[in-house]
Structure 1
Amino acid sequence: MVEQRILDIADHLLLIEHELRSQGWWSEQAPSAEALASVTPFAVDVLSFEQWLQWIFLPRMAFILEHAQPLPNASGILVMAETVFSDRPEQSRELRRLLAEFDQLIGTSA
């Protein structure tokens, strides 16, 4: 039986994707393989935060869920979002709310 927390996280990933799409921050063109291979936190050296969410974060979390791998012990994604979107507080409000809830879901002990 799938744990409710896993279902909640999966639902949240879909909500994050939906919000990226509704804001026009979803791209049909994938970044280069080199950009996707960045080891810099949030790939800030080669990707925008929105690209990182779409092309690295969401697929990585989906893989973890689909393959029943251990979840991260913590997530500090909201802190990055607050920094990135400091100049767009209204436009990013819903995405930041979703990312805050994601952080809480990850931080909840199993």
Structure 2
Amino acid sequence: MTSHDRLAHALRELEATLMDVGLWEASQPQPSAFESQQPFCVDTMSMPQWLRYVFIARLQALVDARATLPATCAVAPAMEVWLKDEPASTRDPVVRELATVDLIVTQA
């Protein structure tokens, strides 16, 4: 299994987990929200919106194109901070799936 195949699987697992815990943002941000210069678009999107419409979408595009993956990826720690006040039943599965994505991208 290639790193692209492993990443595609991990992205599907992340999506399913976000849906399971109620963090799969259904509302697409306004086009101007994507112009943010801040990390994770914190000034224009919620973290779940950023995950769905920026992070997952961009990684899936790289998978589909079999393009070079980023050299580093460390989104799990940011999501852990964002979810710090959520119950472990919400926080832990999401952070675990993101850590898997981070690892696959970093090791590719």
TM-score for the superposition, normalised by structure 2: 0.91
CA distance in 1, matches of 2:99, 2:12: 15
Match of 2:27 in 1: 29
Match of 1:53 in 2: 51
Match of 1:107 in 2: 106
Match of 2:85 in 1: 87
Query: Which contiguous aligned blocks of 4+ residues in structure 1 show a shift greater than 3 angstroms?
Result: none
Aligned Cα root-mean-square deviation (Å): 1.3
SS at match of 1:54: helix
Q: 2:66 aligns with which of 59, 65, 68?
A: 68
Match of 1:5 in 2: 3
TM-score for the superposition, normalised by structure 1: 0.89
Match of 2:96 in 1: 97
SS at match of 1:34: helix
SS at match of 1:31: coil
CA distance in 1, matches of 2:78, 2:96: 13
- How many corresponding residue pairs? 107
Amino acid at match of 2:79: A
Percentage of pairs with the same residue: 27
Contact 2:77 2:95 in 1 (8 A): no
CA distance in 1, matches of 2:3, 2:105: 9
